[in-house]
Chains A and B, each alone.
Chain A
Amino acid sequence: MAGLLLRGIKKTYGTVKVLHGIDLDIKSGEFIVFVGPSGCGKSTLLRLIAGLEDITAGTLQIDGEVVNQLAPSKRGIAMVFQSYALYPHMTVYDNMAFGMKLAKGHSQDEIDKRVRQAADVLQITPYLDRLPKQLSGGQRQRVAIGRAIVRDPKVFLFDEPLSNLDAALRVQTRIEINKLHESMPGVTMIYVTHDQVEAMTLADRIVVLNAGRVEQVGAPMELYHNPDNLFVARFLGSPSMNTIPCVIESGGSDPRVKPDGCASIPVKATIPASAAGTKGTFGVRPEDLEITTGDFSIFRGTVDIVEQLGEVTLIYVDVGTTEPVVAKIANDIPVAKGDKVALTTELRHLHVFDEKGIAYPRT
Chain B
Amino acid sequence: MAVAETIAEPAAQAGSDLLRQRVRAAWIFLAPMLIVLALVAGWPLLRSIYFSFTNASLTNLEARQWIGFENYLSWITLKSGKTVYDGLLVDPLWWKSVWNTVRFTIVSVTLETIFGMMVALVLNADFRGRGIVRAAILVPWAIPTIVSAKMWAWMLNDQFGIINDILLNLGLISQKIAWTANPDTAMLAVLIVDIWKTTPFMALLILAGLQMIPGDIYEAAKIDGVNPVKVFWKVTLPLVRPALMVAIIFRMLDALRIFDLIYVLTANNAQTKTMSVFARENLFDFDKFAYGSAASTMLFLILTVITILYIIIGKVNFEGGR
Contacts and interface: CB of A to CB of B under 8 A. Distances in A.
Contact of A88 (B224, B227, B234, B322): B322
Contacts of A151: 223-224
Nearest to A148: B223
A139 B79 CA distance: 81
The 4 closest A-B pairs by CB, nearest first: A73-B225, A99-B224, A85-B216, A85-B220
B20 interface: no
23 contacts: A50-B223, A52-B219, A52-B222, A72-B222, A72-B223, A73-B224, A73-B226, A79-B220, A81-B220, A83-B216, A85-B219, A85-B220, A87-B220, A87-B221, A88-B322, A89-B235, A98-B224, A98-B234, A99-B224, A99-B226, A102-B226, A133-B322, A151-B224
Contacts of A102: 224-227, 230, 234
B45 interface: no
A81 B224 contact: no
A88 B214 CA distance: 10
Q: Which of A81, A83, A85, A147 has the most C-beta atoms of chain B within 10 angstroms of its own C-beta?
A: A85
Contacts of A85: 214, 216-217, 219-220
Interface string A178-190: 0000000000000
B217 A86 contact: yes
B223 A103 contact: no
A353 B223 CA distance: 44
A77 B238 contact: no
A72 B225 contact: yes
Interface string A158-197: 0000000000000000000000000000000000000000
Given A98-B221, A151-B223, 11 more contacts: A51-B222, A72-B223, A73-B224, A83-B214, A83-B216, A87-B217, A87-B220, A89-B322, A98-B224, A103-B225, A151-B224
B53 to A, nearest CB: 49
A85 B224 CA distance: 12
Interface string A46-69: 000011100000000000000000
Interface of A: 50-52, 71-74, 77-79, 81, 83, 85-89, 98-99, 102-103, 133, 147, 151
A79 B222 CA distance: 10
Nearest to A74: B225
B239 interface: yes
Contact of B222 (A73, A86, A87): A73
A81 B223 CA distance: 11
A78 B222 CA distance: 10
Contacts, number: 67
A233 to B, nearest CB: 35
A35 to B, nearest CB: 22
A81 B239 CA distance: 19
Contacts of A74: 225
Interface in B245-287: none
A103 B126 CA distance: 27
B225 A87 contact: no
Contacts of A87: 217, 220-221, 235
Contacts of B227: 102
B226 A78 contact: no
A56 B222 CA distance: 20
A88 to B, nearest CB: 5
A32 to B, nearest CB: 19
A79 B223 contact: yes
Contact of A77 (B223, B226, B234, B235): B223
A71 B217 contact: no
Nearest to B216: A85
Contacts of A71: 222, 225
A85 B214 CA distance: 8
A145 B28 CA distance: 51
A86 B235 CA distance: 11
Interface in B182-234: 214, 216-217, 219-227, 230, 234
Nearest to B322: A88
Nearest to B218: A85
A88 B222 contact: no
Given A87-B217, A133-B322, A78 B223 contact: yes
A86 B214 CA distance: 10
Interface in B295-322: 322
B31 to A, nearest CB: 36
Contacts of A83: 214, 216
Contacts of A88: 217, 239, 322
A71 B219 CA distance: 12
A81 B216 CA distance: 8
B244 to A, nearest CB: 13
Contacts of B238: 89
A74 B225 CA distance: 8
Interface in B1-36: none
Nearest to A153: B223
A91 to B, nearest CB: 13
Nearest to B213: A88
A147 B221 CA distance: 11
A196 B226 CA distance: 35
Contacts of B225: 71-74, 99, 102-103
Q: Which of B223, B225, B235 has the most C-beta atoms of chain A within 10 angstroms of its own C-beta?
A: B223
Given A88-B239, A102-B226, A103-B225, A81 B219 contact: yes
Contacts of A86: 217, 220
Nearest to A102: B226
Contacts of B220: 79, 81, 85-87, 147
Contacts of B235: 87, 89
A15 B165 CA distance: 50
Contacts of A77: 223
A140 to B, nearest CB: 12
Contacts of B322: 88-89, 133
Contacts of A79: 219-220, 223
